[in-house]
Amino acid sequence: MSNKMSGEQGERKFKVVGTRPIRHDGLDKVTGRANYGADLALPGMIHGVILRSPHAHARIKKIDLSKALAMPGVKAAVTGADFPEIGSGGMPAGESHIDPKDLQANILARGKVLYHGHAVAAIAAATIEQAREACKMIAVDYEVLEPVMSLERALAKDAPILHEGRKAVGVPPLPEGDTNIMMRLANAKGDVDAGFKSADVVVEGWYEASMAHQGYIEPHATVVTTRENGQADVWCSTQGQFAVKSMLSVTLQIDPNLIRVTPSEIGGGFGGKTTIYLEPIALLLSRKSGRPVKLVMTREEVFRATGPTSGTRIWAKLGAKKDGTFVAADTRMEFEAGGFAGSPMGAATMTVFASYNFPSFRLEGLDIVLNKPKVAAYRAPGAPNAAYAIESAIDELAQKLGMDPIELRLKNAVKEGDTASYGPKFDRIGFIECLNAAKNHPHYKAPLGKNQGRGVGAGFWFNVGLQSSATVSINDDGSAVVRTGNPDIGGSRASMAITAAEELGIPVERVRPLVGDTDSVGYCDLTGGSRVTYATGMAVIEASKLVIEHLRARAATIWGCEVDAVEWRDGQAVGTNGASNNKPLSLADIAKQMGHTGGPIIASASVNPPAAGPGFGVHICDIEVDPETGRSTVVRYTVVQDAGKAVHPSYVEGQLQGGAAQGIGWALWEEYLFDKNGKMENPGFLDYRMPVASDLPMLDTVVIEVPNPLHPYGVRGVGETPIVPPLATVGNALSRAIGVRMHRLPMTPPRVLDAIETKKG
Which residues in this chain contact other proteins in the complex, by CB under 8 A?
A: 90, 92, 94-97, 170-172, 185-189, 214, 269-272, 274, 346-347, 349-350, 376-381, 422-427, 461-466, 528-531, 608, 610-611, 710, 717, 720
Minimum distance, C-beta of residue 184 to other proteins, in the bound complex (Å) = 9
- Residue number with CB closer to other proteins (175 or 750): 175
DSSP E strand boundaries for 253-394: 259-263, 293-296, 312-320, 326-338, 361-369
Minimum distance, C-beta of residue 185 to other proteins, in the bound complex (Å) = 6
Alpha carbon separation from 442 to 25, 616, 702 (Å, rounded): 36, 20, 12
- Residue number with CB closer to other proteins (382 or 478): 382
Give the bridge partners for 605, in sequence order.
470
- Residue number with CB closer to other proteins (282 or 377): 377
Minimum distance, C-beta of residue 712 to other proteins, in the bound complex (Å) = 16
Minimum distance, C-beta of residue 334 to other proteins, in the bound complex (Å) = 17
Instruction: Report DSSP state, residue 265.
Output: B
d(CA 254, CA 84): 10
Minimum distance, C-beta of residue 282 to other proteins, in the bound complex (Å) = 24
In our burial notation (b when 16+ CB lie closer than 10 A, e otherwise), range 711-748 reads: bbbbbbbbbbbbbbbbbbbbbbbbbbbbebbbbbbbbb
Contact of 353 with 389, CB cutoff 8 Å: no
In our burial notation (b when 16+ CB lie closer than 10 A, e otherwise), range 465-498 reads: bbbbbbbbbbbeebbbbbbbbbbbbbbbbbbbbb
- Residue number with CB closer to other proteins (108 or 350): 350
Q: CB-based contacts of 486: which residues, under 8 Å, 6+ apart?
A: 240, 468, 492, 515, 524, 526, 527, 532, 536
Give the bridge partners for 456, in sequence order.
620
CA terminus-to-terminus distance, the chain: 47
Closest by alpha carbon to 648, among 95, 202, 1, 199? 1
- Residue number with CB closer to other proteins (356 or 462): 462
Minimum distance, C-beta of residue 93 to other proteins, in the bound complex (Å) = 8
- Residue number with CB closer to other proteins (90 or 595): 90
Q: How far is CA 500 from the centre of its chain?
A: 25
DSSP E strand boundaries for 200-311: 201-209, 221-226, 232-236, 259-263, 293-296
d(CA 81, CA 731): 47
Contact of 103 with 44, CB cutoff 8 Å: no
d(CA 159, CA 373): 18
- Residue number with CB closer to other proteins (346 or 630): 346
Contact of 502 with 560, CB cutoff 8 Å: no
- Residue number with CB closer to other proteins (465 or 513): 465
- Residue number with CB closer to other proteins (192 or 668): 192
Q: Provide the residue type at 39 as one letter.
A: D
- Residue number with CB closer to other proteins (303 or 559): 303
Minimum distance, C-beta of residue 50 to other proteins, in the bound complex (Å) = 24
- Residue number with CB closer to other proteins (336 or 396): 336
Minimum distance, C-beta of residue 551 to other proteins, in the bound complex (Å) = 32
Minimum distance, C-beta of residue 420 to other proteins, in the bound complex (Å) = 9
Q: Provide the residue type at 508 as one letter.
A: V
Minimum distance, C-beta of residue 541 to other proteins, in the bound complex (Å) = 19
Minimum distance, C-beta of residue 423 to other proteins, in the bound complex (Å) = 4
* Count of other CB atoms within 10 angstroms of residue 6: 12
Closest by alpha carbon to 677, among 53, 175, 51, 57? 57
d(CA 487, CA 267): 10
* Count of other CB atoms within 10 angstroms of residue 290: 14
The DSSP bridge pattern shows strands 201-209 and 585-586 to be unpaired
Minimum distance, C-beta of residue 362 to other proteins, in the bound complex (Å) = 8
d(CA 497, CA 475): 15
- Residue number with CB closer to other proteins (147 or 717): 717
Minimum distance, C-beta of residue 609 to other proteins, in the bound complex (Å) = 9
- Residue number with CB closer to other proteins (172 or 442): 172
- Residue number with CB closer to other proteins (224 or 345): 345
Minimum distance, C-beta of residue 196 to other proteins, in the bound complex (Å) = 17
Minimum distance, C-beta of residue 418 to other proteins, in the bound complex (Å) = 10
- Residue number with CB closer to other proteins (463 or 735): 463
Closest by alpha carbon to 476, among 552, 589, 603? 589
Alpha carbon separation from 311 to 35, 239, 743 (Å, rounded): 34, 23, 13
